[in-house]
Structure 1
Amino acid sequence: MSIDAPVKVTPPARKITTKPRVSDQIFRGIVTTFSFSALLILSLIAIFLLIKGFTTFKEQGIGFITNFEWTVVIDENGIETANFGLQAMLLGTLVISIIALIAAVPLSVLTALFLTFYAPERIKKILVTIIDLMAAFPSILYGLWGFFVLMPMAEYWAKLIHKWLGWIYIFDVPDPIYTRSPFIAGLVLSIMIIPIITSVSREVFSQTPLDRIQAAYALGATKWGMIRAVVLPFGAGGVVGGSMLGLGRAFGETVAVFSVLNIVFRTNFQILFTQGGNVASMIIQKWGEAAPSEVGALMAAGLVLFILTLLVNFLANYVVTKTVKSGR
């Protein structure tokens, strides 16, 4: 009696296709729509500001950026003469933002290093949550905290700085008035941008190649030596990018600066003295009593600030992305 040999059945060839499933196509369409909607909203904002401020750009020309005067004069016949120049407030924006960066960057970098390499896991989770929560606080809370809590302490610090470094022009004051100064506004902004710089720096530090870290330890480096030799050089570009993102946030801040700074349309490099301003706070100060022509000028100022902030953020994202991808 013979037993038939088993018949070998060859399974059909599997069809390999790159066509996504219907659910994937729907999800991709939704994500793409929302992505382009954000770009559309930004474009509409820019177009709106350009339309409203076009007359100012046409009349003032490049002087709108370079002039230091902002005046509206109506004579006895009702004829209005306007001269709009944004240079003083642009310089004020830059001064306050630089103060914020000087105060925020060292603290942010040290915090990011602690969270990445030193903090126990339980403490790390709590601190990361607190830092992320700080980024979501409304600006008015920072302004109120700066006015009622920080300002009295900052006045004392300003007096000490003037006492020991008053021979330097930027730390000199024409009158002994230290309240509501660019120095205090910069400190408030530094608290606001610390979460941004810390988060970006921590993300970049965590991307440091493990083989480089292990090689530093193998050569006998301490943890701090490894950080100086490996982590900081690798993450320098990320820190710069995070600082620029913070700079973009500082450029456009309004309420917090308005709460702790005496807004005066004048260039002031004496950071301890009680006068100054930035573009955003100038807009909110003048908006309520602005004539129609001045409203257009304020819209034009908003467009300048919009473009400046957008350029800084784009450059910061480019620096951070390039740093992570290149590994240095």
Structure 2
Amino acid sequence: MSVVDPAPRVLKVSRGTSDKVFRGVILAGALFSLIVLALISGFLLYRGFEVFKDFGFSFFTSTKWDAASEDGLIPASYGVAAMLVGSMVIAAIAVFVAVPFAMSVALFLEYYAPQRIKSVLVSILDLIASIPSVIWGIWGYTILMPHAAGWSKSLNHWLGWFPLFKVPAPIFERSPFIAGLLLAMMILPIITSVAREVYSQAPRDQIDAAYGLGASKWGTMRAVVLPFGR
């Protein structure tokens, strides 16, 4: 007796009116965002071309920022070299301070902290990560900078013989280190959350195997978790 396989059944999914309306709204929102982004990019490119036409490539290499005189005898001269270097220095300081601390906090939360402490700290980190950068800037300008002036004066007084800590008095409150420290505080919870998610995906069988071979907890972190997080 022969057995005949039944023909595959084709499932037809009919979209309702609400699904079509929702799909149209989402598509319109996505297209609107792309159009706005394209207009902003086009405006920046158009206006930026005038800078290259007037100053050329020296706009990126010059540190001058002088406006033209009212009579026009002294031409304008602008350059963003100092701003670019300052931004890179601040970013480097922030990464240098935040990344090691964030990785340590992520390891502690994922593998060392008790569950109650972990849930509380994770909630606090998520709350801090949601603070707008404008609030961080206001806090740094009104609170961090005045306190940092005392640190700068102490370092300059006791360690001023070393060039790194020799700071002129007028700029005690403003330095790339203070800005980098503020930026490090801002990116620390974000890096911690990302690192914690990565470390949580470490292969559990390798962790158990390391424990079975007699490795300590830190040895397991160093041999299994940290290499996986790279």
Q: Which residue of 2 aligns with 1:169?
A: 163
User: Which of 197, 203, 206 is equivalent to 1:212?
Assistant: 206
Measure, in 2, the Cα distance between the counterparts of 1:147 and 1:205.
Answer: 35
Question: RCO higher in 1 or 2 (8 Å CA, sep ≥ 6)?
Answer: 1
* Superposition map of 1:244-259 within 5 A: none
In structure 2, relative to structure 1, the CA distance for the partners of 1:21 and 1:206 (3 Å cut) is: farther
- TM superposition shift of 1:205: 0.9
Alignment-mate amino acid for residue 210 of structure 2: A
RMSD (Å) for aligned C-alpha atoms: 3.0
Of the candidates 54, 58, 64, which is equivalent to residue 59 of structure 1? 54
* Alignment counterpart, residue 192 of structure 2, candidates 198, 219, 223: 198
Q: Which residue of 2 aligns with 1:99?
A: 93
Question: 2:152, 2:167 within 8 Å by CA — same for their partners in 1?
Answer: no
Tell me which of 125, 130, 133 is aligned to 2:119. 125
In the TM superposition, residue 67 of structure 1 has moved relative to its aligned partner by 1.3
Q: Distance in 2 between matches of 1:34 and 1:218?
A: 54
Aligned to 2:103: 109
Q: Structure 1 stretches of 5 or more lacking a match?
A: 1-9, 237-328
Q: Secondary structure at the match of 2:67?
A: strand
TM-score (structure 2 length as normaliser): 0.81
| Alignment counterpart, residue 84 of structure 2, candidates 90, 108, 113 | 90
Deviation (angstroms), 1:164: 5.9
Q: What is the aligned length?
A: 225
Q: 1:22 aligns with which of 11, 15, 18?
A: 15
Using the TM superposition, give the Cα deviation of residue 35 of structure 1 relative to its aligned residue in structure 2, in angstroms.
4.9
Q: Distance in 2 between matches of 1:43 and 1:138?
A: 25
Calculate percent identity across the aligned residue pairs: 50
Q: Which runs of structure 2 are paired with 1:1-328 in the superposition (5 Å)?
A: 12-15=6-9, 22=15, 26=20, 34-35=29-30, 37-76=32-71, 78=72, 81-162=75-156, 166-175=160-169, 177-236=171-230
The CA distance in 2 between the partners of 1:30 and 1:215, in whole Å, is 51
* Distance in 2 (alpha carbons) for counterparts of 1:204 and 1:162: 41
Distance 2:142 2:64 in 1: 32
Aligned to 1:288: none
* Alpha-carbon distance, 1:44 to partner: 2.5
Kept in 1, the 8 Å contact 2:103–2:192? The answer is: yes
Paired amino acid for 1:135 = A
**TM-score of the superposed pair, with normalisation by structure 1:** 0.59
Deviation (angstroms), 1:191: 1.0
Once the two structures are TM-superposed, the CA of residue 28 in structure 1 deviates from its matched residue by 6.8
Compared CA separation, residues 176 and 234, structure 1 to 2 (3 A): same
Distance 2:224 2:211 in 1: 10
Q: Which moved more, 1:162-171 or 1:142-151?
A: 162-171
**1:20, 1:58 → 2: CA distance?**
58
Structure 1 residues 112, 89: closer, same or farther in 2, change over 3 A? same
Residue 168 of structure 2: SS of its match in structure 1? coil
- Structure 2: distance between partners of 1:64 and 1:45: 22
Distance in 2, matches of 1:38 and 1:138, equals 22
The AA in structure 1 aligned to 2:39 is L
* Separation (CA, whole Å) in 1 of partners of 2:31 and 2:37: 10
Query: Residue 37 of structure 1: CA displacement?
Result: 4.7
Cα distance change, pair 216–165 in 1 and its aligned pair in 2 (3 A)? farther
